[in-house]
A and B are shown apart, each in its own frame.
Chain A
């Protein structure tokens, strides 16, 4: 007996049931491919936002800076680390950090000052591409600052307006000056939105009287370097300095991303559970409807393995049809969502654990988005058909043949 030919004909025999079963399986697979691609895209963008806009892959601070973020806890010779890093394919840029007050026409707010090497920072961060109004920093205009969106709203300022900043310099004297708001950022994250004031490193050094050293070096690893491997390599080049991965710096978010990826798998099984019930029902129907045929097959000498093979082949054909249809529908839809995305302008500015959501939610079109839903479908179908298949395989031929 040609099992595949017989299985194929059996599948075509109950066309309506096959249509319903394959449609449901295809639909579930399509939904799961989209879900997987959208969540993967969301997590990718979220991670990318963390890396590109806020933290970078790695951060290096002076040994005691993170415990006591003081203006005085600086890396004295940043080039001694950044030069060998660049030679090894890493990208790196230094930053200066301080806290103080900023006042606009209407109000004042506590702010976080960040002094950047504008050219080098563009190599490790895309924050300069996220200017909502006005323009990014210009080293030729040291009295221009770029501020966070909510801070601008709180201070009641727009590009072109002036703000007064007030803090304490490294010399102990009051650090105060008037700056022009060159730009207002899009939403990039809670901390930056509410308190971020970006200025050139030169302006920072002048304001805070910090002639040398930096507070932070942001490092981006080469594409092929694993995060932990990169951290070890950077640490080897930075004796006495504190090297942290973004996962160390934002453990809650890192764990959220990990658990969200795990949730995709859990979601597969929840959605596919309904499909499993459908498959179980369809295959049980197939066994009961054909109980006499199965009995005759056994009477003619087809063993349990042959019957099991036949039932599994039928389920395999149904699954293959569903996979072809589901993938044929899923990939173009996912492609569309990866290119066009879903417009989230209405909720722009929303953030999760301090990381901003992009205004356009783009799916990820990758093998990793497509294959797990297929694998989960195959696994759940295999589980669902096991009982009816075993029931068919061990059927008593006499009872089956004379079944009424």
Chain B
């Protein structure tokens, strides 16, 4: 198999927070590559730097030092506007607390990114309906978040994250607020998207069920990669 270009490339990335005179390293000299079509979980104890890692990859936060490239583009060279466009066009986000817009329906939440991209309404409608069906929300399109269960809300969040076919979906503890059955169902959906559509997922998680399903498990401790284990991919190349 020819070597694939990494979608995400971190080189000696550090993130330092200052608490008074104290410097706290959330990430310390961390290097990492994520290739297209990977199903990767980042695990580690609380405060180990998992969320910070996702935030700097997602162009939500800037590292103190080091280089981050998304599809070859150096985030350090981007201004606010370019980073905003990168997040809109190439990165999908799934948050632990779902973070849907409460005043918008499931359909409108899923549609938002395409709308921001200026995609034609007819194309938007087709894409949104397709992803809502893929995550099992057909018939619930008009419901607002407060009319959906936690699992359904997280499925809307996944639909919102994948609808524009981003380079990578960053999911911060996506199952943390869900019961076991719902969490497993959600993992089934994400795994199916990974297997059938080649969606690249990068999770941060404490959840052993997510770790079990991951094809690559990166363990982060004190802002550094302690281990990086790959498992055989049974789905074949994307």
> Which residues of A are interface residues toward B (Cβ below 8 A)?
1-2, 6, 9-10, 13, 292-293, 296-304, 306, 397-398, 401-402
8 smallest A-B Cβ distances: which pairs?
A301-B88, A9-B103, A296-B99, A301-B87, A398-B61, A398-B60, A303-B84, A397-B60
Add 10 more A-B contacts to A1-B112, A13-B102, A398-B55 (CB < 8 A): A1-B116, A6-B103, A292-B99, A296-B93, A297-B101, A300-B113, A300-B116, A301-B88, A302-B116, A303-B81
Name the distance in Å between A13's Cβ and chain B's nearest Cβ.
Answer: 6
CB proximity of B22 to chain A, nearest CB, Å: 19
A13 contact set on B, CB distance < 8 A: 102-103
Q: Which of B58, B81, B102 contacts A299 (CB 8 A)?
A: B58
- The count of chain B contact residues (Cβ–Cβ below 8 Å) is 25
CA distance A6 to B115 in the complex (A): 13
A293 to B99, Cβ gap below 8 A? yes
Q: Which of B61, B80, B101, B102 has the most chain A CB atoms inside 10 A of its CB?
A: B101
How many A-B pairs fall under 8 Å by CB?
57
CB neighbours (8 Å) of B88 from chain A are 300-302
With a cutoff of 8 Å between Cβ atoms, the chain A residues found around residue B85 in the complex are 301
Q: Can you list, as one digit per residue, whether each of B31-54 has a CB less than 8 Å from chain A (1) or not (0)?
A: 000000000000000000001000
B89 proximal to A (CB < 8 A): yes
B104 within 8 A of A: yes
A298: B residues at CB distance < 8 A: 84
- The CA of A80 and the CA of B203, in the complex, are separated in Å by 100
Interface membership of B25, Cβ < 8 A: no
Give B contacts to A, CB under 8 Å. Answer: 51, 55, 58, 60-61, 80-81, 84-85, 87-89, 93, 95, 97, 99, 101-104, 112-113, 115-116, 160
Residues of B within 8 A of A304 (CB): 80
- Cβ contact within 8 Å between B115 and A2: yes
Report B-chain residues with C-beta under 8 Å of the C-beta of A299: 58, 60, 87, 93
Using Cβ atoms and an 8 Å threshold, which residues of chain B touch A302? Answer: 84, 88, 116
Q: Decide: A6 near B84, CB < 8 A? Known: A1-B115, A301-B89, A398-B60.
A: no
Interface of chain A: mostly helix, strand, loop or mixed: helix
Q: Which of A10, A13, A300 has the most CB of B within 10 A?
A: A300
Q: Are A296 and B84 in contact (CB under 8 A)?
A: no
On chain A, the residues within 8 Å of B101 by CB distance are: 6, 293, 296-297
CB nearest neighbor in A for B98? A296
Rounded to whole angstroms, the CA-CA distance of A342 and B58 in the bound complex is 67
- A300 to B115 Cα, complex, angstroms: 11
The residue on B at minimum CB distance from A11 is B103
Q: What are 25 contact pairs spanning A and B, CB under 8 A? A: A6-B103, A6-B104, A10-B103, A292-B97, A292-B99, A296-B95, A296-B101, A297-B101, A298-B84, A299-B60, A299-B93, A300-B87, A300-B93, A300-B160, A301-B84, A301-B85, A301-B89, A301-B113, A302-B84, A303-B80, A303-B81, A304-B80, A398-B55, A401-B60, A401-B95
Name the B residues within 8 Å of A300 (CB-CB): 87-88, 93, 112-113, 116, 160
* A398 CA to B172 CA, complexed, in Å: 12
In the complex, what residue of chain A is closest to B105 when comparing beta carbons? A9
A298 CA / B58 CA spacing, docked (Å): 12
A302 to B89, CA, bound (A): 11
Shortest beta-carbon distance from A194 to chain B in Å: 70
CB proximity of B51 to chain A, nearest CB, Å:
8
Q: Which residues on B sit within 8 Å (CB–CB) of A401?
A: 60, 95, 99
Q: Give CA–CA (A303, B88) in the complex, Å.
A: 10
Q: Which of B89, B97, B112 has the most CB of A within 10 A?
A: B112
Return chain A residues, CB-CB under 8 Å to B60.
299, 397-398, 401
Task: Give chain B residues whose Cβ lies under 8 Å from the Cβ of A10.
Answer: 103
Contacts of A2 in B (CB 8 A): 115
A248 to B95, CA, bound (A): 75
Among residues of A, the one whose C-beta sits closest to the C-beta of B62 is A398
A10 to B102 alpha-carbon distance, docked (Å): 9
Least CB separation from A10: chain B residue: B103
Which residues from chain A contact B97 at a C-beta distance below 8 Å? Answer: 292
Which residues of A lie under 8 Å from residue B104 when comparing CB positions? 6, 9
